[in-house]
Copies of this chain bind each other. A is one copy, B any other.
């Protein structure tokens, strides 16, 4: 157990007989304090499984655990959920706090290479190392899966494709599937990774699949058809094509009338949680 990764409990709320909690710890990967929230069902002592939830642009560790209704869906399982913050906090890099789609609250879950950001925006490592270590060593879980929304859906997919030995199952809501080809992704990757496009492809779901980083198991994705970002940012149809070409098994469900909000996530989370748990118990 790494003492640096020991977490400090900030708040705890009894929920559905289990515990909703907020915590912080000193991250090795980011070199900063990082916060996360989570829920542990009553009978999970310790939890057998964990779902890591990655949130989208502008979110913190709080959005999902407050809005998605996950506690009700997990209450009778032995699976916990852990929701990390979406970026390091407390720094003052150039442009870090000026826009909603770059810098604080917008890490895109990459390991940054650019001046300033490289010092703490190591979010790929933060999720795949620090958070995984906490789940295994502190919460003593056996299996881990990953899911997320929008930028966090992108994070769940790239981490799931690159780290299949860590993440036993993967799903996403409204993910950014081809960030090297959309305005959000281009801005973020240029800002965090610089101009070298080979680096960008390591953090792009469609490009990872094209380069053979497929998973053996099926990925579940829900996407609202009234999502205002579908055509210009999410580019979901690119993934449809690439998955078909590369043989990646995909359950991509277009949901009529649903938008990009947490009202959409909460509506279909009841399908994702059993899907993720089934993959962990496989």
Contacts and interface: CB of A to CB of B under 8 A. Distances in A.
A174 to B, nearest CB: 13
B66 A16 contact: no
B67 A263 contact: no
B266 A69 contact: yes
Contact of A259 (B14, B66, B266): B14
Interface string A248-273: 00000000011101111011001000
Interface in A45-65: none
A264 to B, nearest CB: 7
Contacts of A15: 263-264, 266-267
Contacts of A72: 69, 72, 266, 270
A266 B14 CA distance: 11
A71 interface: yes
Interface of A: 13-17, 20, 66-67, 69, 71-72, 224, 226, 257-259, 261-264, 266-267, 270
Given A14-B267, A66-B66, A72-B72, 14 more contacts: A13-B259, A14-B257, A14-B259, A14-B264, A15-B263, A15-B264, A15-B266, A15-B267, A16-B266, A16-B267, A69-B72, A69-B266, A71-B263, A71-B266
